[in-house]
Structure 1
Amino acid sequence: MMKRNHLSHRSVLSLTGKERLTFLQGLITNDVLSLKNGEICWAALLNAQGRIQSLFFVFGTPDALFLDLPDDHAETVMKQLKRFRLRADVTIELTSLTVLSGSCKDPQPSHALCCARDPRHPHLGWRALADHSSESDDKGEGDAVFQRRRLALGIPEMADLGAPGQTLALEANLDALNGVSWEKGCYLGQEVTARMHYRAHAKRRLLPVILPDDASFSCGDDIFSHDQHIGTLRSTCGPYGLAMVHRDAWNNNNLHIKERTIQLVWPEWLPTTLRPEKG
């Protein structure tokens, strides 16, 4: 019996009805019309200015779409979707489903309603939805295990973005982590997202950093290069962190927080062509 793969900070919304696919297709960054049964995609709901309101996974099943999203976003996202529904044949509900996660080596749960590989990176393992969970007594261990795994890879989630409406899709690397479809039709915030993509110019991005083992940092700590403020620490887990770093510092080896040196890591999944040449 697995004990450490229950993600207690997640909720699941269901979308049912004949028009569920076309309804969601017109709102989010990824292509749900091409989502086959049993598959999963990662996507964002943006505002009209192209800034992220919520990040979530979409599971495709024969009778419904399921949104795996942060607990504290579930009610807000449900209200937002209902506001856009108008007369569409779509029913949106909060479910009691549990979100599970496992590494590539963990066996997938046999009792899962649906299970698929995390689409952002192959080393993140799988995600699953289940009606009930024997992992619910893991006291948060599943959350901590997954947090360490994703931060070691430099993979962002909504918790790294601050308040909703602050971060652009490309600043959160959705373009490099299969979070945006460039072939689909219009969606909320598409114009800003497409313009940034085709100009290949994001002024800042969430990037992984390695932190000193003996230092204590907090989310929101400022990052400096010499005396110039160039970013902010967004998440930490052990020696791993994610920071929002300005483009001018992407090749900088002299970064520090509270006078302690940190190491900026350019992740293997982020194309080096996006990195400015050293001056």
Structure 2
Amino acid sequence: MTNCVRLHDRAVVEVSGDDRVTFLQGLVSQSVEGLADDEARYGALLTPQGRILFDLFIVGRPGAIWLDVARARREELVARLKIYRLRARVEITPGEAEVWASWPTAPAGAGPGWVPDPRREGLAWRAWGPASPPVPNSGAEEWRRRRLELGIGDAEDFDFDRDYPVELNLDLVAGIDFSKGCFVGQETTSRMKRRGQVKTRLVPIRFEGPPPPRGAEVLNGALRAGEVRSGVEGLALALLRLDRLEGDLTVDGRPVHPHS
């Protein structure tokens, strides 16, 4: 069965104007050069210190680039981009496009514009806009389980202005182009990757029963190993110390097992 859901927690910001490519190229962690219409790439906007501020799908559109961002943070993204605009010939406006996901394939009979989710082959297909909308047959919980089963983090798993993108596995899901040149936060990001300074990562964990609350401590014996981010029955993502994955891990007194 093909599952299809409208992602109500995501929204679009439109960046248009002659300088849109060069403007975004110097800001985000993913290259936007050569972005074709209806092509999607994944990236982030970071702080100058290299911490994540926004995770973004970067979508090519005729005469514009759409940024698919967490709906709760869209106005903050618009304000942040306007700070960086200076003399660039760009317009930055909230968009009205809906955001959709479908898996394991695009929905039958769907209109044009469906593209593979760039974070992992086989994860899902994604679409933007009201044209030829499909009929949703799944909800947010089914989509959450789908991505957790494949170990893919989303905005609800990130602590913005605190986490580093490589801790959130953006380097493993095509979210950082290390060859593109400068972007905001590039120096810290490249140094962490180059020097092997990644000490924690998002890791899928399995357990019995309902998911622990966000922020619940994962323990390795008496030592803190990390914390839970998002979860569903029997499955969650946790930000864990890589040097404490071996041994008896527990959360809320329950055994947990990291898995790939």
* TM-score with structure 2 setting the length: 0.93
Q: Report the Cα distance in structure 2 between the residues aligned to 1:105 and 1:136, rounded to whole angstroms.
A: 14
Match of 1:211 among 184, 207, 213: 207
Cα pair 1:6 1:136 within 8 Å, conserved:
no
Counterpart-to-counterpart distance in 1, 2:135 and 2:91: 28
Give SS of 1:123's match: coil
Kept in 1, the 8 Å contact 2:5–2:136? The answer is: no
**Partner residue, 1:190:** 186
Contact map agreement 1:225 1:255 (CA 8 A) in 2: yes
- Between the aligned partners of 2:33 and 2:157, the Cα distance in structure 1 is 28
Q: Which residue of 2 aligns with 1:180?
A: 176
SS at match of 1:5: strand
Q: Distance in 1 between matches of 2:79 and 2:116?
A: 29
Is the contact made by 2:211 and 2:231 (CA closer than 8 Å) also made in structure 1? no
In the superposition, the TM-score normalised over structure 1's length comes to 0.87
Across the two proteins, how many residue pairs are aligned to each other? 259
* C-alpha distance after superposition, 1:68-107 (max 9, x if no partner): 1111110000100011001111001101110011013342
With over 3 angstroms needed to count, the CA separation of the structure-2 counterparts of 1:143 and 1:185, relative to structure 1, is same
Q: Which position in structure 2 is the counterpart of 1:23?
A: 23
What is residue 119 of structure 2 aligned with on the other side? 120
Alpha-carbon distance in 2 for matches of 1:56, 1:82: 16
Equivalent runs, 1:33-72 vs 2, <5 Å: 33-72=33-72
Long gaps (5+) in structure 1: 268-279
Query: In the aligned structure 2, how far is the partner of 1:3 from the partner of 1:157?
Result: 18
> Offset at 1:203?
1.3
Shift of 1:255: 0.4
Measured after TM superposition, the shift of residue 115 of structure 1 is 2.5
Q: Is the 8 A contact 1:253 1:263 kept in 2?
A: no
RMSD: 1.9
Look up the match of 2:156.
Answer: 159
Is residue 259 from structure 1 mapped to residue 253 from structure 2 by the alignment?
Answer: yes
Q: Is the 8 A contact 1:13 1:68 kept in 2?
A: yes
Residue 131 of structure 1 deviates from its aligned partner by: 2.3
Distance in 2 (alpha carbons) for counterparts of 1:6 and 1:218: 25
Shift, 1:124, TM fit? 1.2
Query: What's the counterpart of residue 149 of structure 1?
Result: 146
Question: Deviations for 1:217-269, whole angstroms, at most 9, x for unmatched residues?
Answer: 2111101011001100111012110000012113x14100122100011x3xx
Deviation at residue 3 of structure 1 after TM alignment = 7.9
Distance 1:126 1:215, change over 3 A: closer
Matched residue SS, 2:176: coil
- CA–CA distance in structure 2, aligned partners of residues 174 and 53 of structure 1: 13
**Counterpart contact for 1:6–1:133, Cα < 8 Å:** no
Name stretches of at least 5 consecutive residues in structure 2 with no aligned partner: none
Alpha-carbon spacing, 1:62–1:215, altered in 2? closer, same or farther (3 Å) = closer
User: CA–CA distance in 1 between the matches of 2:154 and 2:232?
Assistant: 14
1:35 CA drift (Å):
2.1
1:147 maps to amino acid:
R
Amino acid at match of 2:15: L
Measured in 1, the distance between the counterparts of 2:156 and 2:131 equals 25
Query: What CA deviation, in whole Å up to 9, does each residue of 1:122-177 have, x standing for no partner?
Result: 12111100226756887xx4322211100111101121012x21100100111111
Q: Structure 2: which amino acid aligns with 1:168?
A: Y
1:273: which partner in 2?
none
Whether contact under 8 Å (1:3, 1:134) holds in the other structure is no
Match of 2:226 in 1: 231
Query: How many angstroms does 1:109 deviate by?
Result: 6.1
Q: CA distance change for structure 1 residues 209 and 91 in 2, over 3 Å: closer, same or farther?
A: same
